[in-house]
């Protein structure tokens, strides 16, 4: 009777031990493996537009996490490049190693990697004074000398001549208006008009304007101008 009880207790302990092992094994099976949890990058999708047209391709070298991959992209199209060593969050460097003839290569471009394919857009610019590079043919990197049209030069000269001519004629017009103004005021008093014209001619810079107006319009000098001109000639200190 005593032996039977001892056997029953021993069997219960063994059953409990087997149950505990089963629970531990199930927990280990349900936990994800660390190696399987690491995700790789979705790569880089390169979109290429060529100024020279849709004919031709471009070759790009993409480097990230110490590993590089090459991809060829057609003009006006796209291509995706991947690498198992690339990780999300890393920075990828893109260098164009080849392109359509007569275009500038894109170098040292950067894009951030993600779990999806990161997009990178680039344009293959045609070689010109604005876009130059060592791969451009000789003669396309320097600035081209542009000839100024003759009509532009002629227009500029004409414009300058009109400004100079206006600078001479405008004072003459002002003097003519002043003469007409005094003539209307002293229409019935010739002596007062003569004095007004004499005083006007004695003002600095007025004598040559009155004389120029008389020559251009072919009109006689106003009365009193001769007296003012004589005073001007006698005054050696006058500079006008």
Determine the pLDDT at residue 76.
Answer: 92
Number of C-beta neighbours around residue 205 at 10 A: 10
Tell whether 114 and 165 lie within a shared domain: no
User: Has residue 113 been placed in a domain?
Assistant: yes
Task: Tell me the per-residue pLDDT of 54-103, one tens digit each, with 9 for 90 and over.
Answer: 889 999 999 999 999 999 999 999 999 999 999 999 999 999 999 998 89
DSSP output for 120-149: EEEEEPBPSSSS--TTSPTTSSSPPP-PPP
Q: What is the mean pLDDT of residues 210-216?
A: 83
Determine the pLDDT at residue 70.
Answer: 94
Find tokens 């094994």 and name the residue.
25
Tell whether 167 and 105 lie within a shared domain: no
Tell whether 118 and 51 lie within a shared domain: yes
195: which residues sit within 8 A by CB, 6+ positions away?
A: 224
> Rounded distance, CA 152 to CA 78, Å?
47
How many independent structural domains does the chain possess?
Answer: 2
Tell whether 50 and 116 lie within a shared domain: yes
User: Has residue 135 been placed in a domain?
Assistant: no
Tell whether 161 and 118 lie within a shared domain: no
User: Has residue 7 been placed in a domain?
Assistant: no
Closest CA to 131 of 96, 104, 112, 109: 104
Confidence of residue 172 (pLDDT cuts 50, 70, 90): confident
- pLDDT top residue among 162 and 232: 162
Residue at which a domain ends, from 76, 106, 124: 124
CB 64 within 8 A of CB 38: no
User: Has residue 69 been placed in a domain?
Assistant: yes
Q: Give the chain's mean pLDDT.
A: 80
Tell whether 119 and 52 lie within a shared domain: yes
Determine the pLDDT at residue 160.
Answer: 93
CB 232 within 8 A of CB 214: no
User: Has residue 187 been placed in a domain?
Assistant: yes
**Residue 72 to residues 99, 112, 117, 193, 226: CA-CA distances in angstroms?**
9, 20, 16, 95, 94
CB 91 within 8 A of CB 108: no
Alpha helices in the chain (DSSP H): 2-30, 34-37, 150-185, 190-202, 207-217, 225-234
DSSP output for 35-64: HHHPPPP--EEEEEEETT-S--EEEEEEEE
Q: What is the mean pLDDT of residues 22-51?
A: 67
Tell whether 117 and 68 lie within a shared domain: yes
Confidence of residue 115 (pLDDT cuts 50, 70, 90): very high
User: Has residue 204 been placed in a domain?
Assistant: yes
User: Has residue 140 been placed in a domain?
Assistant: no
The whole-model pTM stands at 0.45
Question: What percent of the chain is modeled with pLDDT above 70?
Answer: 78
User: Has residue 207 been placed in a domain?
Assistant: yes
Domain that holds residue 192: 150-234
Q: What is the mean pLDDT of residues 191-200?
A: 86
Confidence of residue 15 (pLDDT cuts 50, 70, 90): very low
- pLDDT top residue among 39 and 214: 214
């Amino acid at each position: 009777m005593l032996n039977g009880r001892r056997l029953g207790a021993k069997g219960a302990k063994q059953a409990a031990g087997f149950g505990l092992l089963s629970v531990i094994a199930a927990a280990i099976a349900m936990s994800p493996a660390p190696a399987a949890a690491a995700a790789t990058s979705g790569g880089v999708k390169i979109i290429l537009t060529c100024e020279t047209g849709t004919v031709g391709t471009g070759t790009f070298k993409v480097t990230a996490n110490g590993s590089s991959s090459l991809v060829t992209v057609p003009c006006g199209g796209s291509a995706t490049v991947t690498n198992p060593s690339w990780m999300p969050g890393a920075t990828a460097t893109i260098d164009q190693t080849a392109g359509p003839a007569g275009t500038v290569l894109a170098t040292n471009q950067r894009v951030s990697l993600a779990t999806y394919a990161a997009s990178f857009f680039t344009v293959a610019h045609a070689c010109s004074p604005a876009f130059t590079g060592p791969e451009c043919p000789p003669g396309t990197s320097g600035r081209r000398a542009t000839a100024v049209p003759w009509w532009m030069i002629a227009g500029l000269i004409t414009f300058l001549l009109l400004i100079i001519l206006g600078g001479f004629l405008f004072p003459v017009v002002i003097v003519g208006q002043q003469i007409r103004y005094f003539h209307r005021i002293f229409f019935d008093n010739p002596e007062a008009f003569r004095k007004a014209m004499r005083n006007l001619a004695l003002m600095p810079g007025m004598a040559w304007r009155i004389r120029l107006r008389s020559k251009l319009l072919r009109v006689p000098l106003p009365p009193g101008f001769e007296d003012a001109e004589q005073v001007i000639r006698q005054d050696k200190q006058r500079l006008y």
